[in-house]
């Protein structure tokens, strides 16, 4: 049962991340997210936006602490699900899309190209308003179809 909770938490985090991105990062915490869209110093490696790592890690740490201190396997499963999503987010967003570490450059995978395209569309908007494509792993089907049609 804990494995099911882990899997459900991982998938639920995509919707949490979408809502947080749309309503928090592009809302009342825009001041922390702005430097991710508008680069005032292109050589700056650490962004204010990186603060969200700590914000999202907090519920994971709390869940893992509760799970370990009180022997609550479901709390551990939730904490590990959040951590797994955070790892995927780091790998996809920071490494694959934004190339903060030059590990993955090209791919023939249409799904991953669609993720990159949707994120590019998101960054087309430099202000906090009128944004689109707030998710990370779930992208609008039109981008996936566009990438599939390129391969044919």
pLDDT tens-digit series, residues 12-64: 999 999 999 999 999 999 999 999 999 888 788 899 999 999 999 999 999 99
pLDDT in tens, 92-125: 999 999 998 888 778 889 999 999 999 999 999 8
Q: Look at the chain and report how many structural domains it folds into.
A: 1
Q: For the chain, give the mean pLDDT.
A: 93
pLDDT more than 90, % of the chain? 82
What's the pTM value of the predicted model, to 2 decimals? 0.91
**Distance between CA atoms of 30 and 74, rounded to whole angstroms?**
33
Average pLDDT over residues 123-145: 91
Range of the domain at 144: 2-151
**Distance between CA atoms of 45 and 42, rounded to whole angstroms?**
8
> Exposed/middle/buried for 139, CB within 10 Å: 0-12, 13-18, 19+?
buried
């Amino acid at each position: 049962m804990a494995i099911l909770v882990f899997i459900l938490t991982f998938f639920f985090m995509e919707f949490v991340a979408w809502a947080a991105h749309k309503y928090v990062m592009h809302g009342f915490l825009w001041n922390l997210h702005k430097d991710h869209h508008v680069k005032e110093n292109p050589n700056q490696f650490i962004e204010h936006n990186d603060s969200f790592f700590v914000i999202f890690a907090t519920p994971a740490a709390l869940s893992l602490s509760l799970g370990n201190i009180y022997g609550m396997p479901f709390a551990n499963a939730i904490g590990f699900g959040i951590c797994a999503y955070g790892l995927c987010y780091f790998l996809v967003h920071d490494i694959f899309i934004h190339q903060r570490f030059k590990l993955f450059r090209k791919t023939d995978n249409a799904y991953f190209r669609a993720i990159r395209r949707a994120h590019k569309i998101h960054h087309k908007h430099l202000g906090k308003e009128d944004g689109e494509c707030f998710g990370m792993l779930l992208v609008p089907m039109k981008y996936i179809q566009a990438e599939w049609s390129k391969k044919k």
